[in-house]
Amino acid sequence: QKEVEQNSGPLSVPEGAIASLNCTYSDRGSQSFFWYRQYSGKSPELIMFIYSNGDKEDGRFTAQLNKASQYVSLLIRDSQPSDSATYLCAVIAGSARQLTFGSGTQLTVLP
Amino acid sequence: ETGVTQSPTHLIKTRGQQVTLRCSSQSGHNTVSWYQQALGQGPQFIFQYYREEENGRGNFPPRFSGLQFPNYSSELNVNALELDDSALYLCASSIGGPGTQPQHFGDGTRLSIL
């Protein structure tokens, strides 16, 4: 079992819709969770982080964490074509407390 | 602007050669990590440095080595390059100790092995 799993997609949503991206993780001891956005040919950009169970909102983005279910999600409201990118879920895991990434979900927002 | 600068942007090498990739972080960024990202995959952890000491390593052979310097710069060295080493190499840094603060990435170095 991979430490961090994401649906690889691709996921397509129409402009203005809500995009829902999901991630599960295997290490019950993980305390910190991150979402990075990566445009094609670019490096990952941090867009959200969450440490506590529940929801955390920042503009059009909402991160949701459920530690009991070992599940973290990212909602993007009013999706825009500029949101088209690969979204990487990452958790702090391992003895070095390093970032451990999923393989990413490719999102396409259709005009 | 993340305050993390990597050089060079692109690099082409041949099998068996050696390469050094460089990263410069903001003052106070005591933790620096290096990742390898193959096409279509998530970044894979290579190793991490905290206050100039290696404090963790992923599943990479010893020909991958690194250093962190007192001026918050670091480098990744790869010896005996193989075709599979072709990838985007990413440096990420953060203030504080490992795992205590979010890490921010540089723009990466794209390494191609011929």
Taking the C-alpha atoms of residue B76 and residue B46, their distance in angstroms, rounded to an integer, is: 9
Put simply, whether A32 touches B (Cβ < 8 Å) is: yes
Tell me the backbone φ, ψ of residue B3, rounded to 5 degrees. Answer: 80, 10
Tokens of B54: 């290696």
Of A31, A34, A95, the CB nearest to B102: A34
* CA A89, chain centre distance (Å): 4
- Nearest residue, CB atoms, B56 vs list A32, A42, A95: A95
| Position A31 pLDDT exceeds 90 | no
Q: Over range A22-45, report the average pLDDT.
A: 94
Contact present, A43 and B107 (Cβ < 8 Å): yes
Instruction: Look at residue A96 in the predicted model and tell me its pLDDT.
Output: 85
Q: Tell me which chain A residues have a C-beta less than 8 angstroms from the C-beta of B88.
A: 43
A34 contacts B104? CB cut-off 8 A: no
Q: Dihedral of CA A5/A24/B105/B27: which sign?
A: negative
Distance CA A32, CA A52 (A): 8
pLDDT of residue A87: 98
> Is the pLDDT higher at A32 or at A8?
A32
